[in-house]
Amino acid sequence: MYKRVVEAKLYMDSHYHEKIDLNNISNQANFSKYHFLRLFKHAFGKSPHQYLIETRLLAAKKLLRENNSVKDTCYKVGFESVPSFITLFKKRENITPNEYLKKNKQVEKEKEERPLSFIPNCFVENFGWDKGGGNK
Amino acid sequence: MIAKLSHASIYVLDQESAYDFYINKLGFVEKMKIPIGDDAFWLTVCPRDQKEIEITLMPINRGGMFKAEVAQQLSELVKNGTFGFGVFECTDIFATYQELKDKGVVFTKEPTQEFYGVEAMFKDDSGNWFSLTQFKKEN
């Protein structure tokens, strides 16, 4: 039983960017839709739909950090409509994808200019990374 | 008053391999990757649903952190399973155990009923060990 629910999760992990019909997944796992929903939620603490949305948003954030456009990101992670992607992203992340993209560009610029400022200074000083490595 | 833990370090033998283990096997999320020299990174990850913590994957043999002799000793200790990092919590241990096992994670203890819940133990790719626990609801 666990194997089939885990397989369904792993399928979502690797196919989130495709059109996924959760009815088909429950059928493939040989469960009724209701039984599948219940088992999935019990196993992973969230519904398959919630899990899929979160997986797509995680992937979207990664693509935005890699400078993909909002539109490209939307379709690459499996959402079918840009406006609904933007709404969902804003609802979950409290920031629009475009704002996230801009903010990240700024952060990346700062990381290039002052990389060590992103690391707690106790580590930088103790290990001597500001002096090219401390060899303590 | 100390409010909470924000960073914790795990010493790893190979950062690239550790990245693969924590991201692709455990399903963690990358938080920060900053070059610190000597082919090493300030590399932090977190469990997917616990974004407020950063677990730093510290490379023993890179980044000039330790003298060669110390790095050698520490590597041996890590490899031999001397260090236990902590406890990871999951919603359903049997499902998580199944998933991680299918992904090739090595378990040293199968899910076992304990007074606080059900616990299994696994090792990371370096040799650090962890508890994976589904706590009883009242805990």
- Does this complex have an ipTM over 0.90? no
Percent of chain A surpassing pLDDT 90: 70
Chain A, window 22-81: residues with a beta carbon less than 8 angstroms from a chain B beta carbon: 42-45, 54, 58
Structural domain boundaries of chain B?
A: 7-135
Rounded to an integer, the average pLDDT of A48-67 is 95
Most B-contacting residue of A31, A63, A110, A123 (CB-CB within 10 A), to test interface: A123
Residue A68 pLDDT greater than 80, yes or no: yes
Decide if pLDDT at A132 tops 70: no
- Mean pLDDT, chain A, integer: 90
Distance CA A105, CA A112 (A): 11
CB A89 within 8 A of CB A82: no
Predicted confidence band of residue A136 (pLDDT cuts 50, 70, 90):
very low
Q: Starting from the edge strand earliest in sequence, which strands make up the sheet with B84-89, in order?
A: B84-89, B129-135, B117-123, B106-114
Q: Are strands B84-89 and B54-59 parallel, antiparallel or unpaired?
A: unpaired
Spell out the residues 6+ positions from residue B8 whose beta carbon is closer than 8 angstroms to its own: B53, B54, B55, B56, B85, B86
Which residue numbers in chain B have pLDDT < 50?
139
Confidence label for A4 from pLDDT (cuts 50, 70 and 90): confident
Task: Give domain B7-135's CATH architecture.
Answer: Roll (3.10)
Per-residue pLDDT reduced to its tens digit, A84-113: 999 999 999 999 999 999 999 999 999 999
Q: Judge contact between A125 and A119, C-beta under 8 A.
A: no
pLDDT in the model for residue A33: 84
